[in-house]
Amino acid sequence: MLDHQKPSIGRIVHYVSYGTPGGEYPKACRAAIVTQVLPEDPEHKDFVVGLCVMNPTGFFLNPEIEYGEGEETDEDNDLCDHMDYPGGSWHWPARV
Ligand SMILES: [Zn+2]
């Protein structure tokens, strides 16, 4: 299953940017390159990675980002498969 593929350095994944609380900016999927993969940890069901996130207006680096599972939602959004993902998490890009 693609979702449980082990991430490796240099792979491209999605990072979910936080939207603004007032909803002026919704959450968005951003392209990100895996910069490190933390050792497997029983507390996390999926891998924790470091990412270089490529926002349209600049780069953002974070050494420790948790995997975020997509959840069904009725809300309209532009995230992968119109699922809801936690802000500040990563996932594999959906096939389109
Ligand atoms: Zn995505």
Q: Residue 32 and residue 13: Cα distance in Å, rounded?
A: 5
Mean pLDDT over the full length of the chain = 91
pLDDT of 40: 84
pLDDT at 2 over 80: no
pTM of the model: 0.89
pLDDT at 4 over 70: no
> Which of 15, 30, 6 has its CA nearest to residue 65?
15
Distance 92 CA to ligand 1 centre (A): 7
Q: Residue 89 and residue 70: Cα distance in Å, rounded?
A: 10
Q: pLDDT tens, 37-80?
A: 999 888 877 899 999 999 999 999 999 999 999 999 998 888 99
Distance 93 CA to ligand 1 centre (A): 5
Distance 91 CA to ligand 1 centre (A): 6
Distance 35 CA to ligand 1 centre (A): 18
- The band of 3, judged by pLDDT with boundaries at 50, 70 and 90, is low
Task: Report in angstroms the alpha-carbon separations of 1 from 6, 31, 48, 55.
Answer: 10, 21, 18, 28
pLDDT at 1 over 70: no
